[in-house]
Structure 1
């Protein structure tokens, strides 16, 4: 009976973590992959899970609740001398760690969606002195392009798009928004191109095309 309860806790906790990964697959996982330099159009397939996010969240919380309930039942049993696969201390540590991982994965889209990462090549534009410095440091061939971005499903997606664009050499600033789904990019055409920018968003899982240039 003790081994059966251990197994119940293990599979329910594993289910909770797996469902939490599914809940964050459309948002947090693409951002993590892009941050680590992993790209490819296949990442865009993860956004197909967006409509099922709340189903994954419900499954994760239900499985986590069952794991906690099962542990509570086991804690109320009279101690026995039977052999167990893992000790109660180890089991509860795993449950606590797994629970924390599930909660972090579930809330991560809201956390990252509210964070605006610092631009890697932003040109300062505050104050008259800064404006003059900006003009002197901006290439004569400076251009701006507005990209229409496809596949964004939540407020974390613009963060991923912005990260992918900021990593392109020659980009001075990039701003992506969820509504409207677009990215405004300032870049040096002598270093990069619009085609390179659209390829960067595509590799992050979000195809794009130029809307207008200025």
Structure 2
């Protein structure tokens, strides 16, 4: 019974550790990108949640693999086990927990590839502009591709680089093809919020 609780708590802890990372993807797929940054507050606790997941799953495996109890005559005391108490189920929970904990390292696979940068004329009338947007809600590296993809879909975008560490997005664009307000709206559509614009 303790083994099942340990495995369940380990899985829940793994889920919580990556909640801020895969919520934007789920929200975008569901069409409700406004909830994407709702769990960004969990990001600072991520290392502790991963640590607790590893400890709880380790405890579950220890309890599962420890020597079997024997009665006075030396016979194994065995009880009928449900599927939830099997090694296979614990292995599935462990694999799922590992996938959840490592999600930020492969999250970029689920986001649209950046479109090829369009050629921008370098005539005196068409000069590029670079603007930095302070963005609230990006908690880890898996947030960056979503913002970059949303902004990259706009016309006239030469370069876009989002940074969860710096909490910003730097965009180089042709002002004759798109506006700062269009870029702000594209970033806000991901569920993260533009707080400030540095021109």
Q: TM (normalized to structure 1)? A: 0.68
Aligned to 2:55: 62
Other structure's SS at 1:32 match:
helix
Aligned to 1:16: 10
In structure 2, relative to structure 1, the CA distance for the partners of 1:189 and 1:121 (3 Å cut) is farther
In structure 2, relative to structure 1, the CA distance for the partners of 1:97 and 1:153 (3 Å cut) is same
Alignment check: 8 A CA contact 1:9 1:70 kept: yes
Q: Does 1:96 align with 2:91?
A: yes
TM-superposed CA distance for 1:105, in Å, is 1.8
Structure 1 CA distance for aligned equivalents of residues 187 and 162 of structure 2: 11
Residue correspondences, number: 188
In structure 2, relative to structure 1, the CA distance for the partners of 1:35 and 1:178 (3 Å cut) is same
Other structure's SS at 1:122 match:
coil
Structure 2 CA distance for aligned equivalents of residues 32 and 110 of structure 1: 14
Q: Unpaired runs of 5+ in structure 1? A: 124-133
Structure 2 CA distance for aligned equivalents of residues 171 and 93 of structure 1: 53
Structure 1 CA distance for aligned equivalents of residues 187 and 138 of structure 2: 11
Other structure's SS at 1:36 match:
helix
Other structure's SS at 1:176 match:
strand
In structure 2, relative to structure 1, the CA distance for the partners of 1:97 and 1:85 (3 Å cut) is closer
Aligned to 1:85: 82
Aligned to 1:131: none
In structure 2, relative to structure 1, the CA distance for the partners of 1:120 and 1:37 (3 Å cut) is farther
**Which has the larger helix fraction?**
1
Q: C-alpha deviations, 1:81-140, integer Å up to 9, x for none?
A: x4332287xx22221121112122222224548xx97412423xxxxxxxxxx246xxx6
TM-superposed CA distance for 1:64, in Å, is 0.6
Q: TM (normalized to structure 2)? A: 0.73
TM-superposed CA distance for 1:147, in Å, is 1.6
TM-superposed CA distance for 1:22, in Å, is 0.8
Q: Does 1:108 align with 2:70?
A: no
Alignment check: 8 A CA contact 1:171 1:185 kept: no
Structure 2 CA distance for aligned equivalents of residues 85 and 150 of structure 1: 46
TM-superposed CA distance for 1:56, in Å, is 1.3
Structure 2 CA distance for aligned equivalents of residues 201 and 164 of structure 1: 7
Structure 1 CA distance for aligned equivalents of residues 115 and 143 of structure 2: 18
TM-superposed CA distance for 1:157, in Å, is 2.9
TM-superposed CA distance for 1:15, in Å, is 1.2
TM-superposed CA distance for 1:57, in Å, is 1.4
Q: What is the root-mean-square deviation of aligned Cα atoms in Å?
A: 3.5
Candidates 145, 151, 170, aligned match of 1:184: 170
Q: C-alpha deviations, 1:69-88, integer Å up to 9, x for none?
A: 12113x635364x4332287
Alignment check: 8 A CA contact 1:23 1:54 kept: yes
TM-superposed CA distance for 1:195, in Å, is 2.7
Candidates 20, 24, 29, aligned match of 2:22: 29
Other structure's SS at 1:99 match:
helix
